[in-house]
Amino acid sequence: MKPRQARREAILAQMGIAPLWRLRAAAGQPGAAAAPPRSAQPRPLPEPPPSADEREARILAMSWAELKQAVPACTACGLHKTRAQTVLGVGDERAEWLLVGEAPGAEEDRLGEPFVGQAGKLLDNMLAALGLKRGDNVYIANVLKCRPPGNRNPEPGETAKCAPHLLRQIGLIRPRLIVALGRIAAQTLLNSDATIASLRGRVHRYAGVPLVVTYHPAYLLRNLPDKSKAWADLVFARRTLASLGGG
Ligand code: URA
């Protein structure tokens, strides 16, 4: 250290002030700093994560374009670590019919679209029997936008974090009728632990929108006799929608 610098540091030390900065010696030279140098400039505090309410308010104010950017970037729950991609939904963004399933499965995670596996084929056939098809007055979404690993049931924390995304989709689509596909979707949207059997055949509401409940297409693939009940539910849904002035 040069004499002038040594004197300056001695004065600072007497005043109880450590030198604010010092030229680094080259690596390996005597006096080389072991730790990387740190700026003495004050650093901005990291922004605290938005509170649950702020986050929800932000999502509920999004446009389609913003929602389509926000969902793939979402890390609000642990599912972002295992997903291949998010699955926001598919179809007519002004549809009268909104079908809501549980969560993407393996195929949906791979392709980025809801209900594209075997259950999806059955769903498409059921829609066709009603004279409907995905993309034409029908929008299909899920409660969760990310696949739970191994197709396990969604956890309450995951559904809570993802709920604003579905709520925003509903706000943007403004469907006349929601069809909840399966127990998990029905129980989550209705905040109930009632069975599908007890929820069928009635008009409920979610976010102010009339909602009817039916079996999940994957369940129907394993329980073919219940297909006739699902058909009755869809006919009931169509009648409900007609009574609301839609079709
Ligand atoms: N099951 C669901 O609930 N949703 C999908 O998208 C696929 C299978």
Residue ranges of the domains in the chain? 53-243
Contact by Cβ (8 Å): 133, 91 = no
Q: For the chain, how many residues are written?
A: 247
The residue contributing the CA closest to ligand 1 atom 7 is: 115
Contact by Cβ (8 Å): 180, 212 = yes
Q: What spacing in Å lies between the alpha carbon of 38 and ligand 1's midpoint? A: 50
Against a cut of 0.75, is the pTM above it? yes
Chain segment 172-196, per-residue pLDDT in tens: 999 999 999 999 999 999 999 999 9
Atom of ligand 1 nearest to the CA of 107: 7
d(CA 120, CA 183): 17
Nearest to 230 by CA among 204, 207, 192, 196: 196
Atom of ligand 1 nearest to the CA of 182: 3
Q: Is the CB of 109 under 6 A from ligand 1?
A: no
Work out the pLDDT band at 48, boundaries 50, 70, 90.
low
Q: Which two tokens stand for residue 210?
A: 């009339």
**Is the domain 53-243 a CATH 3.30.110.30 member?**
no
Q: Is the CB of 175 under 6 A from ligand 1?
A: no
Chain segment 4-34, per-residue pLDDT in tens: 555 555 544 544 444 444 444 444 454 444 5
